[in-house]
Structure 1
Amino acid sequence: MMHLFRFTLLCSSLLLSACTTTPVSTAPPQPKTATPTVASSTHTTATVERVTFDEQTDDVWQRIRSQLTFAPSEHESVQARVNWYLSHPNYMHVISERAKPFLLYVVEQVENRGLPIELALMPLIESDFDTSAYSHKHASGLWQLTPLIAKHYGVKITPWYDGRQDIVDATHAALDFLSYLHKRFDGNWYHAIAAYNTGEGRVAQAIKHNQQRGKSTHFFDLSLPKQTRHYIPKLLAAAQLLRNKQMQFPKIPNHTAIAVLPLKQGVILNTDKAWRKLQTLNPGYTRFPALLDGPEHIVVPALQASQWQDYVAKLPAMPGKQWQHYTIEKGDSLSVIAQRHALTVSQLKTFNQLKSNNIKIGDTLLLPILADQQLDYTVRAGDSLWRIARHFNISVDEIKKWNALSKDVLRVGDTLKLFLSKT
């Protein structure tokens, strides 16, 4: 299976991308003497002997600083990036503000796996710690995971939830992928991180090209895309600035900022005041306030964990996993719509954040669809709503409702959404 995955990635090296970039050192990163050492590449997961750090430090940036292991680099591309950072003194202020809820979580996950602490700086390079970052190559989230990589590492992507923007799912997938790449490139972290940016196939080909010509295979000697040649220098430059205290990294408190609570069933948060506090911590849920079809967890402020747990436990459970948008028509009322869809008026109001029973023609409501399969059906010559309904054992009214059709007229080539049940 892994061999197949490697071949797939080799053929799809352009699918993985990062955000912006600049260049790095003439040798693979080597740990400093008497500090963490990278384990042999024969290990499935790369490990580093833990550096002792002051657990009482009150700043996450200083916690990272005390554990930096990659050797300082004098390469011109690294120094060019250092100068860029220094010429943009407000940059780290913006980064720190965005990273405040998430950085400690990322640091702890890196530490728990025994990986180099520099990896905790990668969201800074990938996305500027913007959870909603999205690239033209379809990479998304803090770690800029592509759909290919995300799905391979078990990250869920549905119309309701994109785990690439979830701090928990995305961080675990990114570190799993980096650990794999570290082994894949024989323990060379520069090569592994470059492969994370541009794809392992492209890095492997660049290494092979130099080997065949008797050239150095150090990162800085490889022929790689411009973005990737600038990628590791950004990382090393940020680490250098932190190590040498050349630039202010605004303090991020070194205490737990978020808690990850179990969420066994989908819910829709029923007050604006409640869900707005969670939206920035749970950007993976793409249709707030609906927490549907996601993982079995929710991220909340640590100091309010018990209150949130009680609050979520009292919310009504969702009656199904598939949903539709229903357009309100003349003669509709909440009671009529609820009865038609086997719901209570209370459920209907909760799903749609309604504070009263008043509805307007033309507005849309969120309704559950109890179905086992969603099918996109292309209308063909000779089709009619009646013929399609009969073929799939559904009703004409259901087809019209699912597709917001006001008439029975169909056009060849149109696509209809059908929700089918096995029973």
Structure 2
Amino acid sequence: MKRGNPLRGVLPALGLLLLLADPVRADGRSALPDGPLEIRQAVRLGLQHHPDLLAAQGRVREREARLRSATAGYRPRLYAEGIYRQGRQIGGRDEGKFTDDSEARVVLEQRLYDFGARAAAGRAARARREASEVALFDARQSRILAIRRQFYDVLLADRQVQVWNEAMAVAFVRWDYGKGRRELGDISPVELARLESRFRRFRSNYRSAQYDARLARVRLAHAMGLEDAVPRDLVRPDPDLDRELPSVQELRDRAWRTNPRLIAARQRLEAARADADRREAQRLPRFVGEVVTQRYARQFDFRNEVEAAIRLEAPLYEGGRLGARAEAARAEAQQRRADWLRLRARVEENIYDAHLDVQSWREKRAYARALLQYRKLKTDLARTEYVLELETDLGDSLTEQTRAELKLARAEFGLAMAYDRLDALVGEPLGPNTEKAR
């Protein structure tokens, strides 16, 4: 029964994504833009220079070479042979003497029929090549996800630095003001010590946040495959978060057809089955046609200078090697099918998890928006009270507003990554651009 090609609907999109990146340069270095780095620029640079993609591209070229090797059996084989031979002659005037009986041959050989062994080898090689192409597509998808995740982490780390910086500033003002009040005897030494410890704690958190921000930039550079270059200023992206979310059943059915890893697993299963067919066919006879032209050092009237023949080659006894290889190939195909079934179940679980993740981040985003709106109103109220010289806590209000902005940013970036993960699971090309159209 002829099977349909599962790559038919995916390879066009794969081709589009492969065009997004330039060939990988040998040195793997990249010049960062002069201005602030945008997320689409980070993705483009990462697709050009990361070693994981270089390795995946190498596997594609390797499988292409193996395909050419496997299909070479369909073409004729032309080769030359030279044999230097000395033999003791029987009969004739030189009887009993060693004479030159060397020969030279040019052979044109073509395999005519082998019960499908060559065709099976070609199917296996083509399936493995297609699997490597899909694996390259999946490696690009994974690289884009990693770059975007690290890009968001840098932005969140910077915002966390801002939160602790504002909290530290407020704590320092209170501690400094407390020292003046302590000189007047308005507060106790215990209260002053509490204000100082609070400032020191916030300062320690601020320093730790600075270190985390530096480390996040290094991780972003590594995700982009950069050497001796660390991104500094980043532009906050504006991802499209108001998207329609299909039903989980629709996404699961689509993923079963278009998930890159599932497609690659199916192609490896097809390759294993084709290998099993090839091993079975090798146990059967084969017919080979050949045309030979030859020259001999010793001349006889009955020797042919040109010959044409059809040769039958049949394995009679090989010590069980061919049977063992066929059995091993069938076992390999069984294992590849088990791998495919396990991966199919895992993809279904991942779809459900990603679908729920999107819904969860939507709720967190709605809460963060409401919290930020509340904090902005509280800050406005605190400013009004400050202007009227009433008792207020404007510093704390500003700090809490910054915390709410951080919470909203974390929710928006988490939702963006959840959507990206869902797109990757269904084989949707992510591409360098993640922002909504303006």
Normalization by structure 1: what TM-score?
Answer: 0.19
Instruction: Mark the structure with the bigger radius of gyration.
Output: 2
More helix by share: 2
Please report the TM-score for the alignment, with normalisation by the length of structure 2. 0.19
